[in-house]
Amino acid sequence: MYAIVATGGKQYRVEEGQRINVERIGEVGSDVELRPVMVVDGDDVRATPSELSSALVSARVLEDLKGRKIDGFTYKPKSNIRRRYGHRQRLSTIEITDITKG
């Protein structure tokens, strides 16, 4: 059985016991509940809001980390305007503990 969950503006395909990196979601050691977009169990596919009203994906936050560095540079020619910027996304590693299809 697997589920598609949405968190941080992205969708992930998850199974029980799987570890994934998502955008910062909670404190280390806490349990979080994610609402699935779709739950697939063999030939049984649940995707409508009425079928998913009681479906739930439980996960535990294992650690906080930072993503890879993104470097950017913009400039405008002939006017001596230059700007460097960087960004590192803050992430959480979560482990999927349970998928309930309801």
Contact 59, 50 (CB under 8 A): no
pTM for this structure? 0.83
Rounded to an integer, the average pLDDT of 26-45 is 93
Is residue 101 over pLDDT 90?
no
**Domain extents in the chain:** 2-100
Residue 66's contacts (CB-CB under 8 Å, 6 or more residues apart) are: 88, 89, 90, 91
For 57, half-sphere exposure in the C-beta direction (CA atoms, 13 angstrom radius) is 25
pLDDT in tens, 47-97: 999 999 999 999 999 999 999 999 999 999 999 999 999 999 999 999 999
Smallest Cα–Cα separation from 89: which of 64, 72, 61? 64
